[in-house]
Structure 1
Amino acid sequence: MIMEALSNLRSFVSGAKSDALLLLFTTAFITPLCRLLHTSPILGYIASGILLGPQGLGTITDVHTTEHLADLGIVFFLFEMGIHLNFDTLMEMRTDVFGLGMSQFTVTALAIAAIVKLTGVGGGTVAAMVVLGGGLALSSSAFVLQLLREKGEMKSRFGRASFGVLLLQDLMVVPLLVLTPVLAKGGDLGAALGSALVRIGMALSAIAVLGKWVLRPVFDRVEASDSQEAFVGVMLGTVLSMSFLTEGLGLSNTLGAFLAGVLLSETKHRHRIEKELSPIRGILVGLFFFSVGFEVDLPLIMNKFGLVAGVVLGILCIKTVIAAAMGLAFGLDLGTSQHLGLVLSQGGEFAFVAFHMARDLEILNDETTRLMLTCVSLTMAFTPFLDGLGHKLNIQAHAKES
């Protein structure tokens, strides 16, 4: 009887259920352990993802479900970032976004595209140059913003510059994802860019109208009802509906969530939204970093260690030098520019989306895709160490100036 009961329990708690339990308990264990070791919990999440994922022990069986939940983590994270901003702040950041950010993205994408052409990766085609150049020019908003939050640097000059660059990169995801299938099929490039601009305009207009005439009155009514359940329900519904809206228009779902946060940052409800959202966002963002670990191909690293190390080092060096140089060009001091370059040197979460799409469209073969995904994941893992190095260089540079 006991054995039969255990067998039934084992069959019931399997697949997605066992994965969810394992991830929740691991999350609860990792955070205090990393605090005790004085290191970023993000590293613990990535290491656990490598260990428990398909390339490690294979304990996590339903990887796709976990990845979908992880995507929600990024959506809620960008919504919370939007809550901390308002339109006046965004206007003050326009030089960081459209000057520094655009320069960093463009120069980095062109440099990597040139390397792709010279080395013949992906056949050296225009499509491969756009996907790899644009994809690797992106940095990780989730990773960098989490570090800025942990260290209280969001309002510093370094933090504002970093956020401005990341915001521009999120906007550049739109043309990148629109252009990729067009280039794969040999379509009209001008028409594709025009379509992307129209979609961005539609999304911005729709969110602005909904925010002013729907969201604010709804939140006022729910606040007056004094129901926590209703408030949380409306909050979650707002984040998801806005992200679905932009995704339905062929744009980044995180862009919709971020803009919804910016709209609500102008209301009296922002502090309560932050309070209610924080624990949900924390768990889901943790799942995202688990999923980063899933992408690390351990057999590939062992079989082609030199190639993997070379690509990882190349990405980190190219992005560091270009971002630091752009920082100096736009008036940042040496220490802040060095810190900026180092903290933005990793690959970003949207590179996963772009590279998976490129594989499905046969722009990149499976081996190249696995190599790129593994290298991007590894660059993320180096970020806390590079941020620490950048912080030290920043302090030293300012000490010399004084």
Structure 2
Amino acid sequence: MWDMNTFIDTLSMSPLLQGGISQPWLIAAANADEAPLILSGVLLSLVVIYLASKLGGELSQLLNLPPVLGELVGGVAIGASALHLLVFAEGGTVAADSALMPILQFIGGNLSAESITSIFESQSEIIEILSELGVIILLFEIGLESDLRELTEVGYQAVLVAVVGVVAPFAAGTAGLVLLFHMPTIPSIFAGAALTATSIGITSKVLSELGFLKSKEGQIIVGAAIIDDVLGIIVLAVVASLAKTGEVDIVNVLYLIGSASAFLVGSILLGRFFNQAFVTIADQLKTRGKLVIPALSFAFIMAFLANAIHLEAILGAFAAGLVLDETDKRKELDKQVVPIADILVPIFFVTVGAKADLSVLNPAVPENREGLVIAAFLIVVAMIGKLMTGWTVVGQPGINRFAIGVGMIPRGEVGLVFAGIGSASGVLDKPLEAAIITMVILTTFVAPPLLRVAFKGGAIAIESPAN
């Protein structure tokens, strides 16, 4: 999809920031003969994604599990681990690995190997971009559902949860790999950094489905996950510099800290002025989409600005949602954003599942065995390092600390990005890369059902007047 070397150079956090279109896509798009086949590939991929999303979601609902877990499992079923209906050009996957390419080859007739490769790369590139749009819309929707005042009230608690959730797994993971497994320092630091990630997309979706997004616990988790993303960008800047040059670029790290702080604070402060302008504009417009189009335009502008200063685009979208949540048109806007989210958000979750290659869990493959031993250690550190964050919350009697810790567990797409960068830079050997991917997969899939259990067990505490 994206050029990993360029990715490391810009020190971005995830492919969600890139939004860029690689050169093969442009070449393919320029070829009029291939363009209809690229469209056919995208349409087939979307049909497969939506079928997997609905079947998985409905099955999860029947089993009393969060539907997002079903979407992830549906992605695994159609992805690199099973049917190969949805695979991506990144990470060495080729056109021959895709079960959809023979269909396109049949439709297109005698296509050359170069053409089918170009079509495959273009089709997977477009699905990646749609996935990125999906998570941007998801975080915009979550921002609309959040309450800025409540989020501000738990601000210091969220900061503490985020800091502990980054420092504890990073320190324990790095030290453990060096002392117990005698690994070199830089690969150990990279693996430790992968443990710091939290997938706000997965956690916030589960919280919303369970109806706990606006609870005290939900607000702490969302706030901490946002701060965790900012800290993750800084951690990535450090480890990417180490991987590339063996030393840390202090100037770049300070720039990231300053730009992240200025963006988040500035978004909230300027939002008060934008609220009035947004309502005025919406009232003046008379044509269809007079509310949702300006709102999405604002969300995309904020996402663009975040991307432009090397933050995550989803942070900008979340900030936009928080700002518009303060307007008196928020409820109406909520209803209009939901159908858009229903179309784009499943692409993101199914894509995350499709990228999870469960073959790294097969102990019958000799090269996987060492990775599985290391993975067991990383999983323990990953779980405990995040679970303990709930017990850093003070001054909140009756708070569900276990739920807060569980909410910080899933690594999701962010963890996969760390593994991808480490692999592309040559820092990670195969066992350690497999261990990181295994940790990401298990923490991603165990968190949604655990979160349901955590809130079910703490329902009385959550609803008590003390909260």
Normalising by the smaller structure, the TM-score range is: 0.7 to 0.9
Q: 1:386 aligns with which of 433, 436, 450?
A: 450
Task: Provide the identity percentage.
Answer: 22
Instruction: Note the 1:36-51 alignment, pairs <5 A.
Output: 36-51=62-77
CA contact (8 A) 1:50 1:56 kept: yes
Following superposition, the deviation at residue 92 of structure 1 comes to 0.5
Task: Report whether the alignment pairs 1:327 with 2:390.
Answer: yes
Quick one: distance in 2 between partners of 1:240 and 1:301? Answer: 38
Following superposition, the deviation at residue 191 of structure 1 comes to 1.7
Greater alpha carbon shift after TM alignment, 98-107 vs 225-234: 225-234
Greater alpha carbon shift after TM alignment, 232-241 vs 304-313: 304-313
Question: In 2 relative to 1, CA 392–12 (structure 1 residues): closer, same or farther, beyond 3 Å?
Answer: closer
CA contact (8 A) 2:371 2:432 kept: no
- Equivalences, count: 387
Quick one: distance in 1 between partners of 2:343 and 2:353? Answer: 16
SS in structure 2 of the partner of residue 363 of structure 1: coil
Partner of 2:215: 156
Partner of 2:137: 76
Quick one: distance in 1 between partners of 2:221 and 2:269? Answer: 29
CA contact (8 A) 1:219 1:234 kept: no
Instruction: Note the 1:93-108 alignment, pairs <5 A.
Output: 93-108=154-169
SS in structure 1 of the partner of residue 291 of structure 2: helix
CA contact (8 A) 2:382 2:409 kept: yes
Task: Report whether the alignment pairs 1:197 with 2:257.
Answer: yes
Following superposition, the deviation at residue 246 of structure 1 comes to 0.9
Following superposition, the deviation at residue 213 of structure 1 comes to 5.3
Following superposition, the deviation at residue 169 of structure 1 comes to 0.8
Greater alpha carbon shift after TM alignment, 304-313 vs 378-387: 304-313
Greater alpha carbon shift after TM alignment, 62-71 vs 171-180: 62-71
Quick one: distance in 1 between partners of 2:81 and 2:389? Answer: 38
Q: Deviations over 1:215-265 (max 9, x none)?
A: 752452133324332433222222222112111111111111111122222
- Unaligned runs of at least 5 residues, structure 2: 1-35, 87-97, 99-122, 463-467
Quick one: distance in 2 between partners of 1:340 and 1:137? Answer: 16
Following superposition, the deviation at residue 175 of structure 1 comes to 0.7
CA contact (8 A) 2:147 2:322 kept: yes
Quick one: distance in 2 between partners of 1:11 and 1:108? Answer: 46
Partner of 1:258: 318
Q: 2:51 aligns with which of 22, 25, 31?
A: 25
SS in structure 2 of the partner of residue 54 of structure 1: coil
User: What is the letter of the counterpart of residue 169 of structure 1?
Assistant: D
Greater alpha carbon shift after TM alignment, 100-109 vs 180-189: 180-189
CA contact (8 A) 2:158 2:221 kept: no
CA contact (8 A) 1:211 1:263 kept: yes
Taking structure 2 as the reference length, what is the TM-score of the superposition? Answer: 0.73
CA contact (8 A) 1:317 1:345 kept: no
Greater alpha carbon shift after TM alignment, 314-323 vs 146-155: 314-323
Q: Deviations over 1:298-357 (max 9, x none)?
A: 332222676566555544433443444443343366982233333433324322222222
SS in structure 1 of the partner of residue 289 of structure 2: helix
Q: 2:172 aligns with which of 111, 125, 132?
A: 111
Quick one: distance in 1 between partners of 2:356 and 2:42? Answer: 21
Partner of 1:4: none
Task: Report whether the alignment pairs 1:349 with 2:413.
Answer: yes
Quick one: distance in 1 between partners of 2:298 and 2:406? Answer: 35
Taking structure 1 as the reference length, what is the TM-score of the superposition? Answer: 0.83
Quick one: distance in 2 between partners of 1:396 and 1:13? Answer: 51
Following superposition, the deviation at residue 270 of structure 1 comes to 1.7
Q: Deviations over 1:354-381 (max 9, x none)?
A: 2222222222245643442343123211
Question: In 2 relative to 1, CA 362–216 (structure 1 residues): closer, same or farther, beyond 3 Å?
Answer: farther
Partner of 2:339: 279
SS in structure 2 of the partner of residue 55 of structure 1: coil
Q: 1:65 aligns with which of 123, 126, 134?
A: 126
Question: In 2 relative to 1, CA 374–283 (structure 1 residues): closer, same or farther, beyond 3 Å?
Answer: farther
SS in structure 2 of the partner of residue 153 of structure 1: coil
Question: In 2 relative to 1, CA 42–204 (structure 1 residues): closer, same or farther, beyond 3 Å?
Answer: closer
Partner of 2:292: 232
- Unaligned runs of at least 5 residues, structure 1: 1-9
SS in structure 2 of the partner of residue 228 of structure 1: coil
Task: Report whether the alignment pairs 1:135 with 2:198.
Answer: no
Instruction: Note the 1:11-22 alignment, pairs <5 A.
Output: 14-22=40-48
